Structure 1
């Protein structure tokens, strides 16, 4: 198994955290993709993932799996350890719902703000920017912070009382928000306390 990614980017972080939670980081080979040199837009990379995004999981049989949720689901069902995606129908549905909300309301919103309302990765990579749309997504991210602060006031983790892929996604989203300079308001203590707790997990350290 190989994973094509960029160490430190938010989506690759999600997959690396999942592997660490399953104690399987040594079961894959990481291959660095040089985004600044547009390697992710090369014909060879587009053959693996036409959306030109990292990470991409390459299986030994020649199958390529992109999209973090799909890669993490494969990891979760391949390796032993805690369940990240749920075991019962109800658990799987709730985790999937909350994971998607963490993507849409925080991680994706922050990413859109970063790529459209700031210099992002520079003029050669950031084409067709729409600053107004980017700023609107920055507001959406702030609303997402408020939503998850409320959720975490009533339960230990994003999808309930157990750590799951939904927590991984939200944690990566907050890290990206730091980088994009979208601060979590200090009054969102439930969200900030949850983040500090997750930061102590071995998969983060």
Structure 2
């Protein structure tokens, strides 16, 4: 398998964590796509993912899979390790629901702020910006932090009792928030404690 990504970016980080959790990191060849230099917009990469986004998983038969959730689904049915997308119908539904909430209210909201209300990746990449929209998404990200703080008041992980794809997305979202200089509110104690605990997992700390 090959993973086309750019190390250090939030979405590639999600897949790298999933690979480590599943014990598959040593079975993958990583191919760097230099996003700040615009390599994700070149024809050869667009042929693999018309959305011009990393990461992309390429299988031995040439099949390409983009979107972190889809890649994680594939890995979950390939490696041994813990089931990151759920063991049964109920778990799968709750994990996918919470994953989407983490994506929308943390990762995507921070991304919109970064790309619209800051210089982002520079004029060669940021061909359209709407600062007012970006600032509104910053507010949404902070609201998302408060939401997940409430969620984590009575459960150890975002989607229940087990570490899952939803936790990976939320963790990546907070990492992106650090980069974009959006601080977690000090009163979000549950979220801060959860982040400190999750950061100690070998798939993240290693």
Q: State whether TM-score is above 0.5.
A: yes
Alignment match, 1:83: 83
List gaps (5 residues or longer) in structure 2: none
Q: Secondary structure of the equivalent of 1:4?
A: strand
Alignment match, 2:183: 183
Task: Using the TM superposition, give the Cα deviation of residue 139 of structure 1 relative to its aligned residue in structure 2, in angstroms.
Answer: 0.4
Alignment match, 2:198: 198
Alignment match, 1:158: 158
- Confirm or deny: 8 A CA contact 2:158 2:167 kept in the other structure: yes
Q: Distance in 2 between matches of 1:158 and 1:114?
A: 24
Q: Secondary structure of the equivalent of 2:202?
A: coil
Greater than 2 Å deviation, 4+ residue runs: none
Task: Using the TM superposition, give the Cα deviation of residue 150 of structure 1 relative to its aligned residue in structure 2, in angstroms.
Answer: 0.1
Q: Distance in 1 between matches of 2:161 and 2:74?
A: 23
Task: Using the TM superposition, give the Cα deviation of residue 106 of structure 1 relative to its aligned residue in structure 2, in angstroms.
Answer: 0.3
- Confirm or deny: 8 A CA contact 2:157 2:163 kept in the other structure: yes
CA displacement, residues 108-129 of structure 1 (integer Å, 9 cap, x when unaligned): 0000000000000011111110
CA displacement, residues 88-123 of structure 1 (integer Å, 9 cap, x when unaligned): 100000000000000001000000000000000011
- Confirm or deny: 8 A CA contact 2:38 2:124 kept in the other structure: no
Q: Secondary structure of the equivalent of 1:82?
A: coil
Q: Secondary structure of the equivalent of 2:31?
A: strand
TM-score by length of 2: 0.99
Q: Distance in 1 between matches of 2:40 and 2:109?
A: 22
Q: Secondary structure of the equivalent of 2:20?
A: helix
Q: Secondary structure of the equivalent of 1:161?
A: coil
Q: Distance in 2 between matches of 1:119 and 1:65?
A: 30
Matched, 1:46 2:41: no
- Number of residue pairs matched by the alignment: 205
Q: Secondary structure of the equivalent of 2:204?
A: coil
Q: Distance in 2 between matches of 1:160 and 1:146?
A: 17
Q: Secondary structure of the equivalent of 1:65?
A: strand
Please tell me the root mean square deviation across aligned C-alpha atoms, in Å.
0.5
CA displacement, residues 134-159 of structure 1 (integer Å, 9 cap, x when unaligned): 00000000000000000000100000
- Confirm or deny: 8 A CA contact 2:3 2:56 kept in the other structure: yes
Matched, 1:132 2:132: yes
Q: Distance in 1 between matches of 2:165 and 2:101?
A: 12
Q: What aligned pairs does 1:18-37 form with structure 2 within 5 A after superposition?
A: 18-37=18-37
Q: Distance in 1 between matches of 2:124 and 2:19?
A: 33
Alignment match, 1:112: 112
Task: Using the TM superposition, give the Cα deviation of residue 36 of structure 1 relative to its aligned residue in structure 2, in angstroms.
Answer: 2.0
